[in-house]
Chains A and B, each alone.
Chain A
C-alpha cells in the first residue's frame, strides 16, 4: 500500500522542516546536540516556536520565536527569528541573551523528506575573572560576544500517520572561528495536521 503521508496531511505543521498550520513537535538526542522544539501555526503563514537546545548537557539555549512560510510548493521554505538565553557551565561560563535567524527547507518524496536548516546565532555574555593579588582581590568583568553559524541536514521518514523518525547531522561552527566537531542526532517528530 502506498503510504502518501504528505498528501494526507494538508499544509501540515512541521517542526523539522518548519512552518504549517497546527501543532508540531520533535525531540532529538545525539552527540553532542540534544533538544526539543514545539511549534504552532496560528495562520496559514505564521506560527510561533518554543525550543531548547543542549550541548553535552553543559550548554543550554532556550528560545522562543516566530516563523513564517516563505514559499510553499514542491519545496517548503520557511524563515524564523528567535530570541532566548544562552547559559554554559564549565571553564568558560556564559550567561547572556541570544538571538537566532534561521532558514529551513524540506521537500517530500512519498514518506521520505530530506530537510536542511541554516542559521546564524549571536549571544552576549559576561566573563568574570577573579585574581587574588598580594594586596587585594581583583575582579575583572569582560563583555564577550559569540557568533555561531548553524547548519544541519537530514532525512525524515514517515513511520505512522503523523509520526516521523528523523536522522540528521549537525555541522555548526560554534564561536567562529573556533573549530567545531560535527555531530549526529536522531529525532522523533509529531507532524500534526491543522
Chain B
C-alpha cells in the first residue's frame, strides 16, 4: 500500500542549483504518431532504443511521444512544464498536426502547444494555411509558432511568407525558428534556409514579432559551433530575438559538454543571459530530457551562473515571453 502511494504521489518538481530550488520549463518537445513521422526521423528515433526494441519501435515511440510519456520524462528531470511542437515537414521529419498537439496538451495542465502550418503549394494554399494557423492560435494553450525553413524548404528572406511572421506577432505568439544545418535527410542545408541573417529583413519589418532562434545556429552536420556567432549577433542587436540551446549539447553531439559550456560562457560574458530560453528537443528517448537538463545545469555551473541567472534561462524568460501563469 505504501509502495502504491509512493508510486502515485506527485513528483517533486524543480532542480537544485547553488542551494536554491529552481523551476524548469522545457520549451522544445516533440509529440506525434508513428505513421506521421518521416522515414529519417523514424530511423533516428529507433536508433535511440537498445536492441532489439528498435526492431518493433512503434508502440514504444508512440508511448514516449504521448502526453503521458512526455509528462513522465518531465517528472524524471523535475521539470515543471513543457511546450509540444506541431511540425509540418513531410519531406524530412514528418507531420504532427496542430489538432494532434491540441489533443495532447488538453490532457495535462503542464503542457502547452506551439502551432505550425504547411507551406507546401504556398501560392494556392497559403491563405488557407494562414487561416488554420490563426485558428490554432486561438486555443488558450497554443502559445507560439514553429517554423523550420530547412525542413520545410522555404527561404528565410522570401517575402511571400512574411504574413506568417505578421500573423504570429498579431497573436503575441513568439516564432521559433530552426537555425543551422540539420542532420536529418530531406532538409535543405543551404544558407538562405539555415542562416538567420537572411531573416534580418523580417526581424526589422515585424518588431512586434518575437523570434526564438532554435539550436543557436549550431552546425549539426559538421559538428561545429563557429556558426553560432550569427545567432549571438542577432540577439545582441535586436530586442525581439531570443536564443534556445536545444540538442547541440547532447551526449552524442557534445560528449564532454564543452560546446554547451562555451555557449553559456559567451552568453554570460556578452550580457545575453536574459535572451536564453531552455529547451531540449526531447523526448527522443527515455531519460533524454532529464539528462539534457542536467547537462545544461552543469554547463551553467561551469560558466559561473548565479542561481538567479540560471532560473532566468531555465524558466524565467519563458514565463514572461509566453505569458505563462504560475504553476500550479
Contacts and interface: CB of A to CB of B under 8 A. Distances in A.
Contacts, number: 63
B46 A90 contact: yes
B52 interface: yes
A174 B185 contact: no
B52 A180 contact: yes
B53 interface: yes
Given A92-B43, A130-B39, A134-B153, A56 B52 contact: yes
A58 B186 CA distance: 27
Contacts of A56: 52, 55-56
Contacts of B327: none
Contacts of B54: 90-92
A133 B91 contact: yes
Contacts of B57: 90-91
A125 B205 CA distance: 51
Given A140-B185, A181-B53, A132 B46 contact: no
Nearest to B90: A132
A181 B153 contact: no
Q: Interface on chain A toward B: helix, strand, loop, or mixed SS?
A: loop
Interface in B45-96: 45-47, 50-57, 90-92
A59, A131, A132, A134 interface centre (most CB from chain B within 10 Å): A131
Nearest to B40: A129
Nearest to B61: A91
B185 A178 contact: no
Interface in A68-102: 88-92
A65 to B, nearest CB: 23
A62 B56 CA distance: 20
Nearest to A55: B52
A109 B186 CA distance: 60
Interface of B: 39-40, 42-43, 45-47, 50-57, 90-92, 153, 185-186, 188
25 contacts: A55-B52, A56-B56, A58-B55, A59-B52, A90-B46, A90-B56, A90-B57, A91-B42, A91-B46, A91-B57, A92-B46, A129-B39, A129-B185, A131-B91, A132-B91, A132-B186, A133-B186, A133-B188, A174-B52, A178-B50, A178-B51, A179-B51, A180-B50, A180-B51, A181-B53
Given A90-B54, A91-B43, 14 more contacts: A32-B55, A56-B55, A58-B55, A59-B55, A91-B42, A92-B47, A129-B40, A131-B91, A131-B92, A132-B186, A133-B188, A174-B52, A180-B51, A181-B51
